[in-house]
């Protein structure tokens, strides 16, 4: 604004100094030049009204003074025209400035909206990705480090399925409020998706301090959530990774912290887990098994081993238990305790279970009539409403009506 005022004062001095002693033709030129500078300044500073006034007002005042000092009746209409012209310009400047301000406000609100989670008012994944990239850049440039915490509300899907979307959303709002209270002002909190939240902690990120921060979060969750007169209980698991020691780019760091969270959530290693170098190897192996398990069934890599049931009283075999086996083409035999949880997580357990029941019934159909077969079922399968139909279909398609053999389910993960 200061520069605009100085520049306008310089142009305003032009008519004051030269208008009175100039010829009529030159006076016309000076008047037109002053009017043009008023118009140009108003247009140039239209988005900053105070700067537009600071620039054009000295020119307007200088022109009026110069005309008033010359005793010529012809100059009166000219003064009136300049005053009308300036007034119109000022009104146009104010209107344009108001329109520009409204447009700027709407644009700013739109940019904030695309970076804000609607439900919790926390930064969303888009905003989190930007802040994570900035944190990594600062850590690289200034040789600093920061901690990334990824935490999830355990079994939150059960809340959604049992109580509905509205109550689940209310729980997430309360979770976000508790996180704000448990964290520091310098920590960047974001809701990524579902019941998954992240924190970028760049201040005092020593492992003991970060563990204390994570513990404050996990300790804040067990208190009951009072939603619509109901008491709901939730627990949180936290995975932690450090930059740049665990990862020097966003993808690598997110993979590391996700691996630590997986160990905390799925493997029952404790609610707070730091990333370890050995975790990365486990993550690579799990990813490979997820990829290959999808084709294991089609490529006949799965098989059943039958373990006999021995009646100790009569010393006779009464039946067999069908045990699922997977021989990987490069990794060899994979333990069921390793690939069954993977099949549950990626949704293949139902197809594999259907194949196991069908294959066990097909094998039992070739046995003597007094032998039975048992097939282990995953807990996830028991939640499938189509399970019983699949068992009856598999049994009925393979046995005569008088054949007493049956497929019995037992919930055991081997």
Mean pLDDT by 10 residues, the chain (414 residues): 74 69 69 70 68 74 72 61 67 71 74 82 91 91 91 85 86 92 91 92 89 92 85 90 89 89 75 81 78 88 92 87 92 90 87 88 86 84 68 52 46 45
Cα 66 to its chain centre, rounded Å, is 65
Helix axes 165-182, 156-163, angle to 10 degrees: 140
- Cis preceding-peptide flag for 259 (omega within 30 of 0): no
**What confidence score (pLDDT) does residue 58 get?**
78
DSSP letter assigned to residue 224: -
Q: Model confidence over 170-211: pLDDT tens digits?
A: 999 999 999 999 998 889 999 998 899 999 998 888 899 999
165-170 own/partner pairs: CB under 8 Å, 24+ apart: 167/227, 167/228, 167/230, 167/232, 169/119, 170/225, 170/227, 170/228
The rounded distance, in Å, linking the Cα atoms of 123 and 6 is 44
The rounded distance, in Å, linking the Cα atoms of 64 and 79 is 6
Closest listed residue to residue 210, CA positions, set 219, 222, 220, 200: 200
Within the chain, how many helices (H) and strands (E) appear? Answer: 14, 12
Domain residue ranges in the chain:
2-114, 125-275, 287-411
CATH fourth-level superfamily of 125-275? Reverse transcriptase/Diguanylate cyclase domain (3.30.70.270)
Q: Which two tokens stand for residue 6?
A: 């100085």
With a threshold of 0.75, does the pTM exceed it?
no
Q: Angle CA(188)–CA(212)–CA(130) in degrees, nearest 5?
A: 15
Residues composing the chain = 414
Q: Angle CA(277)–CA(282)–CA(288) in degrees, nearest 5?
A: 135
The rounded distance, in Å, linking the Cα atoms of 398 and 381 is 21
What's the half-sphere exposure (Cβ side, CA atoms, 13 Å) at 96?
Answer: 16
The rounded distance, in Å, linking the Cα atoms of 8 and 63 is 12
Q: Model confidence over 270-320: pLDDT tens digits?
A: 789 998 877 667 777 887 888 899 889 888 899 999 999 888 888 889 899
Termini Cα distance of the chain: 77
Select from 3.40.50.2300, 3.30.413.10, 3.20.20.450, 3.30.365.10 the CATH code of 287-411.
Answer: 3.20.20.450
The rounded distance, in Å, linking the Cα atoms of 190 and 122 is 5
Measured CA distances, 404 to 333, 397, 399 (Å)? 34, 14, 8
DSSP letter assigned to residue 375: E
**What confidence score (pLDDT) does residue 400 get?**
45
Closest listed residue to residue 374, CA positions, set 349, 396, 356: 356
The rounded distance, in Å, linking the Cα atoms of 412 and 409 is 9
**What confidence score (pLDDT) does residue 150 get?**
94
**What confidence score (pLDDT) does residue 50 get?**
73
**What confidence score (pLDDT) does residue 33 get?**
73
The strand pairing partners of 225, in sequence order, are 232
Exposure pattern of 211-244 as b/e (b: 16+ CB <10 Å)?
eebbeebbebbeeebebeeeebebebbbbbbbbb
Which residues, in sequence order, are CB contacts of 22 under 8 Å at separation 6+?
30
Closest listed residue to residue 267, CA positions, set 245, 254, 283, 255: 283
């Amino acid at each position: 604004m200061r520069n605009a005022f100085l520049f306008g004062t310089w142009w305003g001095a032009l008519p004051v100094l030269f208008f009175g002693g100039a010829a009529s033709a030159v006076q016309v030129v000076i008047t037109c030049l002053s009017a043009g500078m008023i118009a140009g300044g108003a247009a140039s500073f239209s988005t900053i009204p105070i700067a537009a006034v600071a620039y054009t007002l000295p020119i307007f005042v200088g022109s009026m003074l110069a005309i008033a000092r010359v005793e010529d009746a012809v100059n009166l209409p000219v003064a009136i025209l300049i005053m009308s012209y300036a007034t119109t310009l000022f009104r146009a400047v104010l209107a344009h400035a108001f329109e520009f301000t409204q447009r700027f406000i709407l644009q700013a609100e739109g940019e904030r909206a695309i970076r804000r989670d609607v439900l919790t008012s926390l930064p969303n994944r888009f905003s989190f990705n930007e802040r994570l990239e900035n944190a990594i850049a600062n850590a690289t440039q200034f040789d600093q480090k920061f901690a990334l915490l990824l935490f999830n509300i355990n079994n939150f899907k059960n809340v959604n399925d049992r109580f509905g979307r509205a109550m689940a959303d209310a729980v997430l709002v309360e979770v976000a409020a508790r996180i704000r209270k448990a964290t520091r002002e310098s920590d960047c909190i974001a809701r990524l998706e579902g019941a998954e939240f992240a924190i970028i902690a760049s201040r005092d990120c020593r492992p003991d301090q970060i563990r204390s921060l994570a513990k404050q979060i996990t300790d804040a969750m067990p208190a009951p959530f009072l939603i619509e007169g109901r008491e709901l209980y939730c627990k949180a698991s936290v995975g932690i990774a450090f930059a740049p020691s665990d990862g020097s780019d966003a993808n690598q760091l997110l993979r590391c912290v996700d691996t630590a969270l997986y160990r905390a959530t799925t493997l029952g290693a404790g609610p707070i887990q730091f990333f370890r170098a050995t975790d990365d190897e486990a993550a690579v192996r799990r990813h490979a098994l997820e990829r290959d398990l999808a084709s294991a069934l089609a490529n006949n890599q799965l098989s059943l081993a039958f373990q006999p049931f021995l009646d100790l009283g009569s010393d006779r075999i009464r039946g067999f238990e069908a045990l699922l086996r997977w021989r990987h083409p490069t990794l060899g035999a994979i333990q069921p305790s390793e690939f069954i949880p993977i099949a549950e997580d990626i949704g293949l357990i139902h197809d594999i279970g259907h194949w196991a029941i069908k294959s066990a019934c097909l094998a039992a159909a070739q046995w003597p009539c007094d032998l039975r077969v048992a097939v282990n079922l995953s807990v996830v399968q028991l939640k499938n409403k189509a399970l019983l139909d699949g068992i009856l279909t598999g049994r009925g398609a393979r046995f005569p009506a008088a054949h007493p053999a049956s497929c019995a389910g037992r919930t055991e993960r081997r």
